[in-house]
Chains A and B, each alone.
Chain A
């Protein structure tokens, strides 16, 4: 069963515009969710986790249990935000990832 859904494969925004990456999950327990990012020619790395409730590189993500969503947002996108973003859910001691969203920020 698909546990993490990222409906957008590609997202293109202009520099300075807001960006929102959608993530929906399916999980019966108390979810623990993450956003991972892969910049061009770099390793996949953790961007943020919902339990930390932190802002990293200007990105925030709020867990909405009612809508089973964990959307990633940034009010003003920068060119260096261009990357592949994956939403992930921990269950059974492993991370299940969504299909990923490729973000392109245009000047």
Chain B
């Protein structure tokens, strides 16, 4: 596809369950980012990948959150033992080079609701 693709678009889960969110970046984009968008909180940085490595995981809120990227392409964000405060829209973005000047192209997001 032409843009960043995320799935699922909506996920409702029960507290304590694990969830996986997937991101398929634009082909050829080496940099991939995960952000969390909450009401009143703006966009919160979670993790950044350059290729398959994650030089910056500083934004992951707790050890229940993890992410991986394989083949320099698809990335998965996993949230274990979900809590109600994890409810948010999770946005993925990719960039051709990352770093200075690189425009980020965002997906439509995965809306997570934890009951």
Contact = CB atoms under 8 A, between A and B. Distances in A.
Interface in A22-57: 32, 36, 43-46, 49, 51
Contact of A46 (B33, B91, B103, B108): B103
A73 B53 CA distance: 39
Contact of B33 (A36, A45, A94, A98): A94
Contact of B45 (A36, A86, A94): A94
B101 A51 contact: yes
Contacts of B108: 43
B90 interface: no
Interface residues of A, number: 21
A43 B108 CA distance: 5
A70 to B, nearest CB: 16
Interface residues of B, number: 27
Nearest to A101: B42
B43 A86 contact: yes
Interface in A75-94: 86, 90, 92-94
Contacts of B91: 44
B106 to A, nearest CB: 4
A86 B106 CA distance: 13
A93 B40 contact: no
Nearest to A51: B101
A85 B47 CA distance: 22
23 contacts: A6-B42, A9-B40, A32-B100, A36-B104, A43-B3, A43-B107, A44-B43, A45-B105, A45-B106, A46-B104, A51-B101, A92-B56, A93-B50, A93-B55, A93-B98, A94-B48, A94-B56, A95-B45, A96-B45, A97-B35, A97-B42, A97-B45, A100-B42
